[in-house]
Amino acid sequence: MLTMSPLRLEGVRAVVTGASRGLGRVIAEGYVREGATVVATARALAHLDAVTRGCDGAPGTLVRTVALELEDPDSVAAAAVACRAALGRIDVLVNNAGILGRRTSLLETAPNELTRAFAVNVVGPLGLVSGMMDGFADGAVIINVSSGAAGRAGWGAYGLSKAALNVMTAMLGEELRGRRVRCVAINPGGMRTEMRRAAYPSEDPQTVPHPRSVVEPFLAIAAGADAGDVVEARAWTS
């Protein structure tokens, strides 16, 4: 007799930022498929129509969509409140939303490019954590989406901001240990998304893996799997 495999994220309440497309959409839909209750964000609610349709009929619930502009501290604070109100308790926060900016050397990177990349890729995600602090469940996990470009020459504001995100993950991990909130940074590796197309305009997208190929560690860690501070998605085995 066939037995149904149990849903891995039944009862889990999660927030996924940047869920309108690319990796974030795949994570949000994967969480709902595994039974989670999810809040999805993007800069405008209309951007979230596709993920809303993608979650239709799945065992979990896309309970709310929330507009979040990570460059705007007021929007970050309001989104944190909205997520807490929608979920009550937060088990998983996936800080996935991010921007690339210009691929160039640091010396050629303009101050406003650095300011913008840090606002969206570091300061905004940290603000979300702060705003959700009272809502995190015992044993909650914060997953920050990093990049192999972190700290790499030629990746300008993006590389510097993702390196800062990795450091932020380690610092928060220590600071939140007493609260029993875990922090993990995942480098998903190259994926066929709008961001990748902007980074490698002459590449054939069909040669790059779909974001679905790296969703497993996001599911497993949300379900309680152990992980170090920084996870390489393509090396994930358990």
Ligand X SMILES: NC(=O)c1ccc[n+]([C@@H]2O[C@H](COP(=O)([O-])OP(=O)(O)OC[C@H]3O[C@@H](n4cnc5c(N)ncnc54)[C@H](OP(=O)(O)O)[C@@H]3O)[C@@H](O)[C@H]2O)c1
73 CB-contact burial (10 Å; exposed 0-12 / middle 13-18 / buried 19+): middle
Closest contact distance (angstroms) between CB of 163 and ligand X is 12
Separation CA 66–CA 44 (nearest Å): 8
Separation CA 48–CA 119 (nearest Å): 22
**Measured from the CB atom, is 137 or 227 closer to ligand X?**
227
Closest contact distance (angstroms) between CB of 137 and ligand X is 24
Judged by CB under 6 A, which stretch of 36-44, 81-89, 177-185, 213-221 contacts ligand X? Answer: 36-44
Contact flag: residue 64 with ligand X (CB under 6 A):
no
> Is 29 within 8 Å of 53 (Cβ atoms)?
no
Separation CA 192–CA 69 (nearest Å): 23
Among 14, 16, 24, 83, binds ligand X (CB under 6 A): 24
Separation CA 150–CA 129 (nearest Å): 21
Among 191, 214, 215, 222, binds ligand X (CB under 6 A): 191
Collapsing DSSP states into helix, strand and coil, what is residue 139?
strand
Catalytic residue list contains 158: yes
Total residue count of the chain as it appears in this document: 238
Contact flag: residue 65 with ligand X (CB under 6 A):
no
Q: Residues 141 to 170: which contact ligand X by CB under 6 A? A: 145, 147
Alpha helices in 88-153 (DSSP H): 111-118, 124-132
Judged by CB under 6 A, which stretch of 131-139, 172-180, 190-198, 223-231 contacts ligand X? Answer: 190-198
**Measured from the CB atom, is 127 or 190 closer to ligand X?**
190
Judged by CB under 6 A, which stretch of 13-21, 30-38, 82-90, 218-226 contacts ligand X? Answer: 13-21
> Is 64 within 8 Å of 79 (Cβ atoms)?
no
Separation CA 144–CA 128 (nearest Å): 11
Active-site entry in 158, 185, 211, 231: 158
Closest contact distance (angstroms) between CB of 15 and ligand X is 12
Active site residues: 158
Rule CB under 6 A: which residues touch ligand X? 18-24, 42-44, 47, 68-71, 96-99, 120, 145, 147, 188, 190-191, 193-196
